[in-house]
Amino acid sequence: MAQVLMKDLNKKYDEVHAVKDVNLHVRDKEFIVLVGPSGCGKSTTLRMVAGLEEITAGEITIGDRVVNDLPPKDRDIAMVFQNYALYPHMTVYDNMAFGLKMRKFPKAEIAKRVGDAAEILGIQELLRRKPRQLSGGQRQRVAVGRAIVRHPQVFLFDEPLSNLDAKLRVQMRVELKRLHDRLETTAIYVTHDQVEAMTLGDRVVVMKDGWIQQVGEPLELYSKPANRFVAGFIGSPAMNFMDVAVTDAGGALWVESNGLRVKVPPVHAGRLGAYRGQHVTLGIRPEDLRVATGADSGDYAFDTVVDVVEPLGSEILLDLKAGDHALVARVEPTVRVKEHEQLRLALQPERLHFFDLKTELSI
Amino acid sequence: MIGSPRARRTATLLVCYGIVGAFMVFFLFPPYWMALTSLKTNQEIESLEGIPLIIQQGATLKHYRDLFTKTDFLVYLKNSVLVTVPTVLVSMVISVMAAYALSRLGFLGAGVIGTGVFLVYLVPDSLLFIPLFKVIGGLGLLNSKWSLLVVYPTAIVPFCTWLLIGYFASIPRELDEAALVDGANHFQMLVRIFLPVAVPGLIAATIFAFTVSWSGFLYPLAFIYSSSEQVLTAGTVTSLIKGDVYHWGGLMAGALLASLPPVLLYAFLMDYYISGLTAGSTKA
């Protein structure tokens, strides 16, 4: 059990500055997820914590030890790799026991720990098999088992579920969460999948181009994204963005563009006042749109034309056109609309998001 | 001309078998000729009558008996084994360590050295044996079978290193990283992870090392002149060609026996080699 501190962490390859001034405090027992598109520096950050990449500048502390110059084996970490990285010539038992053998644990202790881990993961029947005789999900379990037998201070996961099919991924996700609740070991988890990030993480770190964009609890990232990138990255389908002008009419602020005119709700009016006469980016999540009824105020409703209807059973995704803007709405499965029909949508005024056009920061 | 798929398949197969058949005849004729001649009597070998492709005047084992009783064949055989076994061991140990270092330690100039190692292999024996003669002389190993233990690795190590670099490169890096995190040092990683995973590559390299060492002809011919130190290849030839008299029966018997160990090695290890290739290392 240990906290992990990253201070002004940087990684430069010859041409590429992969990780830029990362400062992060992973608390003891916390499950933290690094998420971002490929090339955002999340894996490099994790590998620096593991000791598999040299640190260009900055400092990493695990527990109360600075580990910058420690080899991986002395950092008291265990890692699960995307491709499992099981030793192909060893049985499942030997794969899991290898790290303990290297550390000269007594045989009885190894057998006990491997047995315990196998029981937790439900792979007791597989201990005599070789990796090639296992399915993808079983291999991933063995890879996790190899990590937990060591009782390390920190678990590092490098996209461990991305080689599994969708159904198995959901199942393993739940198991990993249960495992963390049981073991309470500090974990750093890297993924490009925002759903994994949101469901697994106590806190989520969103990265892009080597920079940390935002650190926060999953719902905080969802409801209060720090910038346009985080807003678009978290949530599926992604947030709709529109370039709108801020105008002043009848003593209230409005945002408008071709085909869209929405009153700025009082919660945002104060901050948006400074943008009067300028353009900002308006963000609306698909789930914050619904079909308007007669009771809806005209201030928070607008007309659209249905482009594509995607019925998913539990909900319907509508691809719509509002003037020049293309947007997606997520509506009740009972809504009956056809393509090319007119549809009036209402929005949740308190859930609108506004972003500065240049800095892309949340307003 | 378009026939039915079945007819076209038959025609394709016939062409394939025809080509394979032609190659088989081409490559199997020399061993057949060796076996045939070794079993013929001297009269029949020298006779200009009849069909040379079959034995007409009765088979004989005389050449084999003579080989074992009237020449130093067994001494040559012993020397060949004494040279080949340590040569293969030494060469493999050096090659494995060099290939691991060049492919994984990532030190400055590793790529250049890797290429350089292979270029060394391209220098032919027939040029090298002249300067090597001086080297062997300087080491005091002239006319000793141990001279071969010094010179053979110069040909084997570069090629095997190059071959193993390629093989090691195909081992996923995540495997080393997993071993590093698990607490293995470089030596443990090499012995416990790389070698078992690279068995097919090791076998290919071992076969190569064995073949070079077993079948080397020029070096023993150049460096060794006593019968008691000579190896099979040069020994069989030097003891069975006296002046301009060729003892064809004995030569062929000796050549046939000398070529058996490599054949057995290949036959035995090929299965292993192919089964090794199917082992999965990371993903499905």
pLDDT of residue A350 exceeding 60: yes
- Residue A57: partners with Cβ closer than 8 Å, 6 or more residues away: A8, A9, A10
Rounded mean pLDDT of B193-211?
88
- One domain, residues B233 and B268: yes
What pLDDT shows up at residue A32? Answer: 94
Domain total of chain B: 2
pLDDT of residue A260 exceeding 60: yes
Question: How far is the C-alpha of B88 from the C-alpha of B86, rounded, in Å?
Answer: 5
pLDDT tens, residue by residue, B257-282 = 999 998 898 888 877 666 544 444 44
- Chain A CB within 8 Å of residue B178 CB: yes
Question: How far is the C-alpha of B184 from the C-alpha of B186, rounded, in Å?
Answer: 7
- One domain, residues B51 and B186: no
Of the three residues B15, B42, B60, the one that is the final residue of a domain is: B60
Closest-approach residue (CA) in chain B for A75: B181
Of the three residues B14, B35, B60, the one that is the final residue of a domain is: B60
What pLDDT shows up at residue A192? Answer: 92
Instruction: Please state, for a pLDDT cut of 90, what percent of chain B lies above it.
Output: 51
- One domain, residues B40 and B106: no
What pLDDT shows up at residue B57? Answer: 83
> Residue A49: its chain B contacts at CB < 8 A?
none
Pinpoint the alpha helices (H) of B40-109: 42-46, 62-70, 73-100
Domain that holds residue B54: 5-60
Question: How far is the C-alpha of A9 from the C-alpha of A363, rounded, in Å?
Answer: 28
3-state SS of A148-211 is HCCCCCEEEEECCCCCCCHHHHHHHHHHHHHHHHHHCCEEEEEECCHHHHHHHCCEEEEEECCE
Question: How far is the C-alpha of A39 from the C-alpha of A45, rounded, in Å?
Answer: 11
CATH number, domain containing residue B273: 1.10.3720.10
Cβ atoms of residues B223 and B136 within 8 Å: yes
pLDDT of residue A266 exceeding 90: no
Query: Which structure tokens are listed for B179?
Result: 């071993």
CB contact under 8 A, A83 and B284: no
ipTM: 0.82
- One domain, residues B40 and B153: no
- One domain, residues B11 and B122: no
- Chain B CB within 8 Å of residue A104 CB: no
Of the three residues B18, B35, B60, the one that is the final residue of a domain is: B60
- One domain, residues B34 and B79: no
pLDDT tens, residue by residue, B145-192 = 999 999 999 889 998 998 888 888 888 888 989 999 998 888 999 999
pLDDT tens, residue by residue, B22-76 = 999 999 999 999 999 999 998 888 888 878 888 888 888 999 999 999 889 999 9
Query: Which structure tokens are listed for B154?
Result: 């110069």
Rounded mean pLDDT of A34-45?
91
Say what the pTM is. 0.81
Pairing of β A186-191 and β A31-35: parallel
CB contact under 8 A, B174 and A132: no
What pLDDT shows up at residue B275? Answer: 55
What pLDDT shows up at residue B162? Answer: 87
CB contact under 8 A, A52 and B197: no
- Chain B CB within 8 Å of residue A79 CB: yes
If contacts are CB pairs under 8 Å, which of residues 186-225 in chain B contact chain A?
Answer: 188, 192-193, 196-197, 199
- One domain, residues B43 and B70: no
- One domain, residues B44 and B118: no
Q: How far apart are the first and last CA of chain B?
A: 43
- One domain, residues B43 and B114: no
- Chain B CB within 8 Å of residue A82 CB: yes
Q: Map tokens 């914590």 to a residue.
A: A49
CB contact under 8 A, B279 and A89: yes
Closest Cα in chain A, distance from residue B107 (Å):
14
Cβ atoms of residues A333 and A313 within 8 Å: yes
CB contact under 8 A, A50 and B184: no
- One domain, residues B72 and B167: yes
- Which string of DSSP letters, residue by residue, matches A286-305? GGGEEE--TTS-GGGEEEEE
| Minimum-distance CB partner of B181 among A73, A86, A132 | A73
Question: How far is the C-alpha of A68 from the C-alpha of A180, rounded, in Å?
Answer: 26
pLDDT of residue A113 exceeding 60: yes
pLDDT tens, residue by residue, A69-110 = 999 999 999 999 988 899 998 999 999 999 999 999 999 999
- One domain, residues B118 and B73: yes
Exposure of B16 in the CB half-sphere (CA atoms within 13 A): 6
> Residue A131: its chain B contacts at CB < 8 A?
280
pLDDT of residue A339 exceeding 50: yes
- One domain, residues B239 and B100: yes
CB contact under 8 A, A88 and B280: yes
> Residue B279: its chain A contacts at CB < 8 A?
88-89, 132
Closest Cα in chain B, distance from residue A163 (Å):
8
Q: How many CB pairs under 8 A join A and B?
A: 76
